[in-house]
């Protein structure tokens, strides 16, 4: 059974944390280097450096050009990608098990780029394209605006892409210094899931990271509590109004982690939730849902809706009604059971995926400092009672003054 | 070692299934021969409206009954109306499969389309049309297909227009469903953990007595419109979609088409990624996508670029297509593309959801089951001369369409009037 998997962990002498989850019966393996650095680490003037650096990793390393990097990923039949956000920069690849050593060696190499001026100037153009593209994606835009309004001028409110100004002004030396400070072995996690030999993986990772340097600097500044407020970005060209409403919630590893997940499912899951019935099923908004954003030292619960401009105010009113009703009213036990069943089922299905587990064990490590077994997760979900949901709601009221952001044609809501 | 099963029930419903040892999930899909290509322009969007209202109540279960029952079984589910077929799918723990099938078949057979539910779904569809306008990168891909096949059902807009959707009636929805959703027009596929005999027996019972419908008319292959179209609209990027004809699903040149698309634009080491992004920094997003359908196939190339770089982007992509037509692909490029495609196939076969779709599609289009080994062998059999023949047969560069969606005019983009072909020298 794929769910009967083995968990492994080992910390190298250089501080790199190595974690793994074997999944019996699969041929592939997913591997990732996760660097605990992101937009929240960026000093003023360096907005976007983490993400730009991630791009530079693919341009040139100590032993490879971008052509080598791209060709080798192809030759090993990899599905690979990288991503940057507020608290991480990650490089990952999925390959058939026999190519895992190649993938590990290449991923390790990517984390040690050579920042060449000509490559930098060239890749800057690509970043500027990505920034322009982002402006054409209102759904992503409204979430960014939401975070920036929750943490104005503060680390968790930083824009991951940066701005055309900050990217235009960025210098190679600043990026190199940032890389030197942040890409320390002791500031990283290596994660692997699927078909692998643990001892061989550890030995190889030890070998390829032998000459890595250490983190130079502290962890991040505290996030602080989310602010309250509203921010409306109005542009005539949009057809739909995109709305996000959010309130404080749990940070990673909080004791109410499972209660919060179940509550969010009850509130805004894409079938059968409170918001589903009152907003989607009534034809008020085609897109409606809720989610949790749990950072290392702060968290948010948000509702996102996309609707026509003429229904926007009413939609917002209904969302507020539902938040109030959930907080102050009853939660039926069958409602709780259905939410629990959904999460239990996802838990099992995700256990069958190397990509999902590669990500899942990192999440477990960051929030708990250890690897939770599937049985523990199941037990955690099964233990949640209505009383737990109420306890969560007392700590994190849904009717708190939160943040409202919108992107669309409307000037006000 | 996976086990494959197939059966045609007395009701006419076709079943295919692939057991995957070691998983607990079961993923399934019902394919219905109902697609937007059958819609006349005045009822554009009818198939989608019908599909989206199916789960809103049957003769014996209300919308809430259905939702609660499926949620209690932990079924992750979705449905989508396409050009050629409509799909209803689910994934859950295999132990709950039979009960989920009770509900799915009730929906497919006895959907009631309550009036107020239909009105709510209509509202949502109108919103979806507006939403698509707000995502020019998705809009350009959809519209490019529509223009390429304009005048034929394959070019229909699945969502319809605000006018056509506003005019759809409950009678039209019921008739559409009555005429098309029947066991003899449907296929059921399942992959993962299930008991085949139990599944077949259950579906046999559930579909017994369900009236069949007339065999649908054969829809001919669509002609193509290799034209240049420019839509000016406010956007931060110019969105470009080149289209060229390819081959249908299961065609003898299917893997030639897939591998050509991969060499051209299937990843960071592809020609387009190298020339457009890496070397010139013209885009963030550029790529090529091949879709093979029943009677035709097409390849679409997407690029999103800032307006001041758009003209050059068009030139570079156009030049790459000329180069492809002239010199096909190199051995090493082809070899890497094969490795990549085979690897992708093996990796995706680890997912029950992906496997249910793959065996479903193979049966739908080809009435065949293919093992991974068979597909790998078909990929391996492609060689450079085969790609040369494929390119001669389909002539992408001589049948090229382009849709540009963004702030620029045709003149800004340096585009010829009408089409690339009228201005090109004879081949």
The pLDDT confidence band at residue A219, using thresholds 50, 70 and 90, is confident
For chain A, report the end-to-end CA distance as a whole number of angstroms: 52
| Residue B162 host element (H or E) | helix B162-167
Cα–Cα distance measured from residue B30 to residue B84, given in angstroms and rounded to the nearest whole number: 14
Residue A224 resides in a domain: no
Distance of residue B410 Cα from the nearest chain A Cα, in angstroms:
21
B281 and B334 inside one domain: yes
Quickly tell me which residue has 């849904």 as its tokens: A398
Pick from B212, B7, B183: which is nearest to B105 by CA? B183
A306 and A248 inside one domain: yes
What is the average pLDDT across B34-47? 97
- Among B151, B174, B207, give the residue marking a domain's end: B207
B305 and B340 inside one domain: yes
Provide the pLDDT for residue B364: 97
Residue B217 resides in a domain: no
Residue A113 resides in a domain: yes
The pLDDT confidence band at residue B305, using thresholds 50, 70 and 90, is very high
Residue A151 resides in a domain: yes
Q: Are residues B281 and A282, on separate chains, in Cβ contact within 8 Å? A: no
B52 and B192 inside one domain: yes
Cα–Cα distance measured from residue A248 to residue A397, given in angstroms and rounded to the nearest whole number: 8
Q: Which of residues 227-286 of A touch B (CB under 8 A)?
A: 236-240, 271-272, 276-277, 280-286
* Assigned token pair, A404: 């409202």
Cα–Cα distance measured from residue A142 to residue A121, given in angstroms and rounded to the nearest whole number: 30
Cα–Cα distance measured from residue B323 to residue B317, given in angstroms and rounded to the nearest whole number: 10
Distance of residue B124 Cα from the nearest chain A Cα, in angstroms:
5
Helix (H, G, I), strand (E, B) or coil at A125: helix
What is the average pLDDT across B329-341? 97
B370 and B242 inside one domain: yes
What is the average pLDDT across B370-378? 96
User: Closest to B130 (Cβ–Cβ): which among A77, A240, A272?
Assistant: A240
Q: Are residues A137 and B76, on separate chains, in Cβ contact within 8 Å? A: no
Cα–Cα distance measured from residue B250 to residue B361, given in angstroms and rounded to the nearest whole number: 10
Residues 6+ apart with CB under 8 A from A354: A23, A26, A28, A29, A30, A94, A193, A194, A195, B350
Let me know: does B276 contact B181? Beta carbons within 8 Å.
no
* Assigned token pair, B49: 């409206």
Alpha-carbon torsion, ordered B66, B69, B75, B81, to 10 deg: -10
Residue B91 resides in a domain: yes
A184 and A328 inside one domain: no
* Assigned token pair, B17: 């299934």
What is the average pLDDT across A257-266? 98
pLDDT tens digits, residue range B76-132? 999 999 999 999 999 999 999 999 999 999 999 999 999 999 999 999 999 999 999
What is the average pLDDT across A178-207? 98
Sort out which chain B residues have CB atoms less than 8 A from A125's CB and list them: 280-282, 309
Residue A214 resides in a domain: no
Sort out which chain B residues have CB atoms less than 8 A from A271's CB and list them: 67, 70-71, 77
Other beta carbons within 10 angstroms of residue B335's beta carbon come to 15
Other beta carbons within 10 angstroms of residue B328's beta carbon come to 21
Pick from A110, A107, A106, A125: which is nearest to A54 by CA? A110
| Residue B170 host element (H or E) | helix B170-180
A22 and A86 inside one domain: yes
Pick from B79, B353, B99: which is nearest to A346 by CA? B353
Let me know: does B265 contact B271? Beta carbons within 8 Å.
yes
User: Closest to B134 (Cβ–Cβ): which among A70, A77, A138?
Assistant: A138
Cα–Cα distances (Å) from B385 to A74, B66, B249, B390, in that order, read 22, 54, 21, 9
Cα–Cα distance measured from residue B146 to residue A109, given in angstroms and rounded to the nearest whole number: 44
* Domain count along chain B: 2
pLDDT tens digits, residue range B57-82? 999 999 999 999 999 999 999 999 99
C-alpha dihedral sign at A370, A376, A381, A385? negative
Provide the pLDDT for residue B427: 46
Q: How far is CA A204 from the centre of its chain?
A: 28
The DSSP-derived string for A166-184 is HHHH--HHHHHHHHHHH--
Residue A413 resides in a domain: no
Name the H helices within A114-162.
117-135, 138-150
Residue A215 resides in a domain: no
Residues 6+ apart with CB under 8 A from A348: A3, A374, B24, B25, B93
Distance of residue B345 Cα from the nearest chain A Cα, in angstroms:
10
Pick from A12, A380, A362, A17: which is nearest to A193 by CA? A362
Let me know: does B64 contact B70? Beta carbons within 8 Å.
no
Sort out which chain A residues have CB atoms less than 8 A from B93's CB and list them: 345, 348-349
- Among B174, B207, B240, give the residue marking a domain's end: B207
Pick from B344, B357, B367: which is nearest to B250 by CA? B367
Cα–Cα distances (Å) from A98 to A95, A101, A254, B66, B315, in that order, read 8, 7, 39, 46, 41
Sort out which chain A residues have CB atoms less than 8 A from B68's CB and list them: 272, 334, 338
A328 and A275 inside one domain: yes
- Among A177, A208, A239, give the residue marking a domain's end: A208
Domain that holds residue A304: 229-408
Within 13 Å, how many C-alpha atoms sit on residue A185's CB side? 19
A242 and A278 inside one domain: yes
Q: Which of residues 3-32 of A touch B (CB under 8 A)?
A: 3, 24-28
Residue A277 resides in a domain: yes
Sort out which chain A residues have CB atoms less than 8 A from B122's CB and list them: 283
B203 and B332 inside one domain: no
What is the average pLDDT across A384-390? 97
Sort out which chain A residues have CB atoms less than 8 A from B240's CB and list them: none
What does pTM read for this prediction? 0.96
A42 and A190 inside one domain: yes
A11 and A118 inside one domain: yes
Cα–Cα distance measured from residue B11 to residue B190, given in angstroms and rounded to the nearest whole number: 18
Dihedral pair phi/psi, residue A258, rounded to 5°: -75, -35
Determine contact: A51 vs chain B, CB below 8 A: no
Let me know: does B264 contact A112? Beta carbons within 8 Å.
no
The pLDDT confidence band at residue A366, using thresholds 50, 70 and 90, is very high
What is the average pLDDT across B393-421? 96
Dihedral pair phi/psi, residue B163, rounded to 5°: -70, -50
A241 and A125 inside one domain: no
Alpha-carbon torsion, ordered A39, A43, A45, A50, to 10 deg: -30
* Assigned token pair, A42: 């960026």
Q: Are residues A306 and B274, on separate chains, in Cβ contact within 8 Å? A: no
Burial of B209 (0-12, 13-18, 19+ CB in 10 A): exposed
Residue B26 resides in a domain: yes
B136 and B242 inside one domain: no
Quickly tell me which residue has 């507006």 as its tokens: B130
Sort out which chain A residues have CB atoms less than 8 A from B120's CB and list them: 281-283
What is the average pLDDT across A217-221? 82
Sort out which chain A residues have CB atoms less than 8 A from B131's CB and list them: 239-240, 286-287, 306
Sort out which chain B residues have CB atoms less than 8 A from A338's CB and list them: 68, 71-72
DSSP secondary structure code for residue A59 in this structure? T
Let me know: does B227 contact B401? Beta carbons within 8 Å.
yes
Cα–Cα distance measured from residue A384 to residue A261, given in angstroms and rounded to the nearest whole number: 10
A202 and A272 inside one domain: no
Cα–Cα distance measured from residue B47 to residue B73, given in angstroms and rounded to the nearest whole number: 28
Provide the pLDDT for residue B391: 98
* Domain count along chain A: 2
B200 and B266 inside one domain: no
Provide the pLDDT for residue A218: 79
Residue B223 resides in a domain: no
Q: Scanning every residue of chain A, which has its alpha carbon at the shortest distance from the alpha carbon of B274?
A: A67
Cα–Cα distances (Å) from B127 to A335, B93, B160, B189, B374, in that order, read 29, 33, 12, 32, 44
User: Closest to A96 (Cβ–Cβ): which among B92, B135, B346?
Assistant: B346
- pLDDT score of B423 more than 70: no
Pick from B186, B171, B167, B177: which is nearest to B47 by CA? B177
Distance of residue A359 Cα from the nearest chain B Cα, in angstroms:
17
Within 13 Å, how many C-alpha atoms sit on residue B55's CB side? 23
- pLDDT score of A207 more than 50: yes
B202 and B234 inside one domain: no
Cα–Cα distance measured from residue B271 to residue A15, given in angstroms and rounded to the nearest whole number: 40
pLDDT tens digits, residue range B225-238? 999 999 999 999 99
* Assigned token pair, B121: 């779904």
Distance of residue B303 Cα from the nearest chain A Cα, in angstroms:
11
- pLDDT score of A281 more than 50: yes
What is the average pLDDT across A87-111? 98
CATH number, domain containing residue B176: 3.30.830.10
Determine contact: A370 vs chain B, CB below 8 A: no
Provide the pLDDT for residue A372: 95
A169 and A286 inside one domain: no
Cα–Cα distance measured from residue A102 to residue B195, given in angstroms and rounded to the nearest whole number: 39
B186 and B262 inside one domain: no
User: Closest to B269 (Cβ–Cβ): which among A70, A77, A308?
Assistant: A70
A202 and A233 inside one domain: no
CATH number, domain containing residue A253: 3.30.830.10
Q: In terms of DSSP bridges, do strands B228-232 and B401-406 run parallel, antiparallel, or are they unpaired?
A: parallel
Distance of residue B279 Cα from the nearest chain A Cα, in angstroms:
8
E-only strand ranges, B159-232 = 186-192, 228-232
Residue B214 resides in a domain: no
The pLDDT confidence band at residue A3, using thresholds 50, 70 and 90, is low
DSSP secondary structure code for residue B294 in this structure? S
* Assigned token pair, A176: 């190199």
Cα–Cα distance measured from residue A299 to residue A390, given in angstroms and rounded to the nearest whole number: 18
* Assigned token pair, B145: 């297909």
Pick from B311, B315, B336, B197: which is nearest to B259 by CA? B336
DSSP secondary structure code for residue B262 in this structure? H
A263 and A118 inside one domain: no
Cα–Cα distance measured from residue A140 to residue A143, given in angstroms and rounded to the nearest whole number: 5
Quickly tell me which residue has 């227009």 as its tokens: B161
Domain that holds residue B363: 228-423
Residue among B19, B20, B23, B302 with most chain A CBs within 10 A, to mutate: B23
B71 and B200 inside one domain: yes
What value does the mean pLDDT of chain B take?
A: 96
Cα–Cα distance measured from residue B42 to residue B44, given in angstroms and rounded to the nearest whole number: 6
- Among B150, B177, B207, give the residue marking a domain's end: B207
* Assigned token pair, B47: 């198939």
Residues β-bridged to residue B189: B16, B29
pLDDT tens digits, residue range B243-257? 999 999 999 999 999
User: Closest to B22 (Cβ–Cβ): which among A2, A132, A287?
Assistant: A2
Q: Are residues A129 and B74, on separate chains, in Cβ contact within 8 Å? A: no
ipTM: 0.95
What is the average pLDDT across A154-172? 97
The pLDDT confidence band at residue B217, using thresholds 50, 70 and 90, is confident
Sort out which chain A residues have CB atoms less than 8 A from B344's CB and list them: 77, 79
Q: Scanning every residue of chain B, which has its alpha carbon at the shortest distance from the alpha carbon of A70?
A: B269
Dihedral pair phi/psi, residue A302, rounded to 5°: -130, 155
What is the average pLDDT across A256-267? 98
Let me know: does B49 contact B33? Beta carbons within 8 Å.
no
């Amino acid at each position: 059974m794929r769910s009967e998997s083995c968990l492994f962990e080992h910390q190298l002498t250089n501080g790199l944390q190595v974690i793994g989850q074997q999944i019996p019966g699969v041929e592939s393996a997913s591997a990732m280097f996760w660097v605990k650095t992101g937009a929240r680490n960026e000093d003023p003037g360096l907005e976007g450096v983490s993400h730009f650096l991630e791009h530079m990793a693919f341009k040139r390393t100590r032993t490879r050009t971008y052509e080598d990097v791209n060709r080798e990923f192809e030759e090993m039949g990899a599905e690979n990608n990288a991503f940057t956000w507020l608290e991480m920069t990650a490089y990952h690849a999925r390959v058939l098990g026999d190519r895992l050593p190649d993938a590990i060696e290449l991923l390790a190499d990517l984390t040690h780029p050579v920042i060449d001026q000509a490559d930098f100037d060239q890749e800057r153009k690509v970043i500027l394209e990505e920034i322009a593209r982002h402006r054409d994606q209102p759904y992503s835009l409204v979430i960014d605006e939401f975070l920036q309004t929750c943490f104005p001028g503060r680390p968790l409110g930083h824009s991951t892409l940066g701005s055309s100004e900050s990217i235009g002004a960025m210098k190679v030396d600043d990026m190199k210094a940032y890389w030197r400070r942040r890409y320390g072995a002791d500031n990283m996690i290596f994660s692997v899931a699927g078909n692998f030999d643990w001892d061989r993986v550890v030995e190889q990772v030890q070998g390829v990271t032998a000459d890595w340097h250490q983190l130079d600097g502290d962890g991040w500044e505290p996030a602080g509590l989310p602010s309250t407020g509203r921010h409306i970005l109005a542009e005539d060209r949009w057809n739909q109004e995109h709305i996000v409403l959010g309130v404080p919630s749990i940070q990673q590893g909080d004791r109410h982690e499972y209660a919060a997940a179940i509550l969010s499912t009850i509130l805004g899951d894409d079938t059968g939730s409170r918001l589903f019935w009152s907003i989607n099923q009534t034809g008020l908004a085609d897109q409606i849902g809720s989610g949790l954003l749990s950072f290392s030292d702060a968290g948010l619960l948000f509702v996102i809706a996309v609707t026509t401009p003429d229904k926007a105010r009413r939609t917002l009113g209904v969302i507020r009604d539902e938040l109030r009703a959930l907080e102050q009213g009853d939660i039926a036990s069958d409602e709780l059971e259905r939410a629990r069943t959904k999460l239990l089922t996802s838990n099992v299905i995700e256990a069958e995926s190397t990509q999902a587990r590669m990500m899942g064990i990192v999440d477990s490590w960051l929030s708990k400092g250890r690897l939770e077994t599937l049985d523990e997760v199941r037990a955690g979900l099964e233990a949640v009672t209505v009383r737990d949901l109420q306890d969560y709601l007392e700590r994190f009221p849904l009717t708190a003054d939160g943040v409202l952001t919108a992107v669309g044609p409307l000037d006000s809501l | 070692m996976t086990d494959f099963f197939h059966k045609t029930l007395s009701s006419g419903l076709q079943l295919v299934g692939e057991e995957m040892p070691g998983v607990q999930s079961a993923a399934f899909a019902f394919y219905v021969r109902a697609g937007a290509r059958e819609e006349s322009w005045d009822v554009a969007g009818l198939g989608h409206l019908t599909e989206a209202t199916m789960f809103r109540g049957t003769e014996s279960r209300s919308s809430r009954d259905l939702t609660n029952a499926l949620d209690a079984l932990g079924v992750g589910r979705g449905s989508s109306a396409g050009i050629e077929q409509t799909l209803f799918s689910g994934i859950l723990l295999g132990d709950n499969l039979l009960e989920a099938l009770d509900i799915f078949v009730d929906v497919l057979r006895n959907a009631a389309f309550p009036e107020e539910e239909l009105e709510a779904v209509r509202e949502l569809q109108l919103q979806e049309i507006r939403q698509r306008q707000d995502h020019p990168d998705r809009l350009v891909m959809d519209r490019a297909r529509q223009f390429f096949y304009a005048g034929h059902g394959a070019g229909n807009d699945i969502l319809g227009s605000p006018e056509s959707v506003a005019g759809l009636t409950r009678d039209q929805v019921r008739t559409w469903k009555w005429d098309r959703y029947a066991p003899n027009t449907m296929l059921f596929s399942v992959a993962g953990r299930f008991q085949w005999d139990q599944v077949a027996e259950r579906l046999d019972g559930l579909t017994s007595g369900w009236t069949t419908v007339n065999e649908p008319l054969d829809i001919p292959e669509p002609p193509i419109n290799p034209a240049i179209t420019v839509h000016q609209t406010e956007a931060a990027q110019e969105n470009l979609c080149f289209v060229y004809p390819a081959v249908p699903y299961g065609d003898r040149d299917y893997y030639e088409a897939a591998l050509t698309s991969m060499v051209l634009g299937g990843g960071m080491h592809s020609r387009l990624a190298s020339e457009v992004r890496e070397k010139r920094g013209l885009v963030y997003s550029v790529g090529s996508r091949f879709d093979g359908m029943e009677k035709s196939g097409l390849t679409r190339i997407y690029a999103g670029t800032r307006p001041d770089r758009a003209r050059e982007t068009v030139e570079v992509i156009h030049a790459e297509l000329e180069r492809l037509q002239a010199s096909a692909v190199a051995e090493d490029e082809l070899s890497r593309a094969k490795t990549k495609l085979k690897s992708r196939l093996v990796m995706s076969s680890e997912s029950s959801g992906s496997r249910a779709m793959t065996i479903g599609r193979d049966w739908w289009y080809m009435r065949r089951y293919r093992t991974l080994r068979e597909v790998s062998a078909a990929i391996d059999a492609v060689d450079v001369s085969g790609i040369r023949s494929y390119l001669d047969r389909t002539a992408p560069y001589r049948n090229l369409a382009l849709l540009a969606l963004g702030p620029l005019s045709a003149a800004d983009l340096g585009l010829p009037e009408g089409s690339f072909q009228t201005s090109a020298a004879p081949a």
